[in-house]
C-alpha cells in the first residue's frame, strides 16, 4: 500500500515506522528541516526496548496520489499542513484529537475523509527519532463513504490493532469523552494519569467532567457512559500523560481548545451544560 503520513511527530512517526517496516511504501510529508533529517538519518522508533530504523520517503509536499493519507498533525497546524497535500488520496484518515477537524478536512479533500481515532502515547525525541511510551497502539475508524477494510488490514499486518466501526460519531466520541477531562487535568496538575485518578481532590473533578462529556456525546448520537470511560482510564499505565500536558509544560500552543473546547461547544449546541469542563479549560495555562 502507498501511504502518505502528514505530520511525522510522535503519532505519525510511530505509524510511519511500523507501516514502512511491514513493507508499505511510506512518504512522510513534513517541514523542510524534518524532511532533511529523515533523508539523512532515516526515521527511528524507540519502543519496548528496541530501536527500529526505517528509511521512508520524505517530501515537503504530497505530489503523487496515495492509497492512504494519515493525517497526524496537531489541530492548530491542520490548515497550514493541508497546503502540502497536492494530490488526492484514495482514503484520508485523520488520527487527531477533538471533534471539529473532520469538517476542515472534508472541505479540502471531500468525502474520501474517514473518521479515525488512536490510542497511543508517543512523542518526538528529534526530527528523525520518535519514542512510543505506551505498549498499545489501537486505531478505530469509520466512514459512510469509503471502504476501510483494506486500511485496517494494512494496520494489522504492521502489528497495529485496528477496528472498523459502524459510526463516525462513535469513533470520535469514544476518545473525546475522556480526553476532554484528562487533557486539561494533566495540563493543569502536570501529573500522570495514575496520580490523578488516585488523588482525592482530582478524581471527583474528573468524574464530573467525564460525566458531562458523556452526556454531550449521548445527546450527539454517540452514547457512552462514565463507567465505560473509567474502565479505560483505570486500565491506563499509571505514568501515562497527554500531549496537551507536554505542550503546556514546554510553553507550546496546545490542543486544549480543539479537545475540551470542542466538547464545550458541542454541549452549547445541544443544550447540555458543561460547567466542570468549562472550569478546567479556564484554569489551563496559556502560552
Within the chain, what is the greatest distance between any pair of CA atoms? 54
Beta strand 115-119 pairing with 57-59: unpaired
Q: H/E element holding 58?
A: strand 57-59
Report the alpha-carbon angle 36-106-121, nearest 5: 50
Distance in angstroms (rounded) separating the CA atoms of residues 248 and 234: 24
Considering the four listed CATH numbers 3.40.50.720, 3.30.479.20, 1.20.120.530, 3.90.480.20, the one that applies to the domain covering 2-166 is 3.40.50.720
Question: pTM (2 decimals)?
Answer: 0.94
pLDDT in tens, the chain (287 residues): 999 999 999 999 999 999 999 999 999 999 999 999 999 999 999 999 999 999 999 999 999 999 999 999 999 999 999 999 999 999 999 999 999 999 999 999 999 999 999 999 999 999 999 999 999 999 999 999 999 999 999 999 999 999 999 999 999 999 999 999 999 999 999 999 999 999 999 999 999 999 999 999 999 999 999 999 999 999 998 999 999 999 999 999 999 999 999 999 999 999 999 999 999 999 998 76
Distance in angstroms (rounded) separating the CA atoms of residues 217 and 176: 9
What residues does CATH 1.10.1040.10 cover in the chain? 169-283
User: Cβ(69)–Cβ(6) under 8 Å?
Assistant: yes
Distance in angstroms (rounded) separating the CA atoms of residues 79 and 250: 23
Determine the CATH number of domain 169-283.
1.10.1040.10
Grid cell in block for residue 197: 485518578
User: Cβ(17)–Cβ(54) under 8 Å?
Assistant: yes
What residues does CATH 3.40.50.720 cover in the chain? 2-166
Distances (CA, A) of 99 to 105, 106, 128, 193, 251: 12, 13, 29, 22, 24
Amino acid at each position: 500500500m502507498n501511504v502518505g503520513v502528514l505530520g511525522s511527530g510522535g503519532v505519525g512517526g510511530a505509524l510511519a515506522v511500523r507501516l514502512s517496516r511491514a513493507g508499505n511504501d511510506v512518504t512522510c510529508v513534513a517541514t523542510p528541516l524534518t524532511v532533511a533529517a529523515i533523508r539523512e538519518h532515516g526515521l527511528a522508533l524507540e519502543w519496548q526496548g528496541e530501536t527500529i530504523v526505517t528509511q521512508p520517503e520524505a517530501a515537503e509536499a504530497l505530489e503523487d496520489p496515495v492509497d492512504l493519507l494519515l493525517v497526524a498533525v496537531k489541530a492548530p497546524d491542520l490548515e497550514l499542513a493541508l497546503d502540502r497535500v497536492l494530490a488526492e488520496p484514495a482514503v484520508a484518515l485523520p488520527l487527531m484529537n477533538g471533534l471539529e477537524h473532520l469538517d476542515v478536512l472534508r472541505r479540502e479533500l471531500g468525502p474520501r475523509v474517514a473518521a479515525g481515532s488512536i490510542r497511543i502515547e508517543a512523542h518526538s525525541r528529534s526530527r528523525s527519532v520518535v519514542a512510543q511510551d505506551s505498549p498499545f497502539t489501537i486505531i478505530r475508524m469509520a466512514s459512510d463513504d469509503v471502504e476501510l477494510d483494506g486500511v485496517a488490514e494494512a494496520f494489522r499486518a504492521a502489528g497495529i490493532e485496528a477496528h472498523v466501526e459502524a459510526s463516525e460519531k462513535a469513533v470520535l466520541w469514544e476518545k473525546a469523552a475522556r480526553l476532554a477531562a484528562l487533557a486539561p487535568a494533566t495540563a493543569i496538575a502536570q501529573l500522570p494519569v495514575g496520580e490523578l485518578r488516585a488523588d482525592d481532590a482530582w478524581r471527583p473533578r474528573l468524574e464530573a467532567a467525564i460525566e458531562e462529556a458523556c452526556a454531550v456525546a449521548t445527546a450527539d448520537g454517540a452514547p457512552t457512559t462514565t463507567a465505560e470511560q473509567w474502565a479505560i482510564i483505570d486500565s491506563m499505565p499509571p505514568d501515562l500523560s497527554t500531549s496537551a500536558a507536554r505542550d503546556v509544560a514546554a510553553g507550546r500552543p496546545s490542543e486544549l481548545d480543539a479537545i475540551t473546547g470542542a466538547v464545550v461547544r458541542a454541549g452549547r449546541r445541544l443544550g447540555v451544560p458543561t460547567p466542570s469542563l468549562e472550569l478546567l479549560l479556564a484554569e489551563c495555562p496559556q502560552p
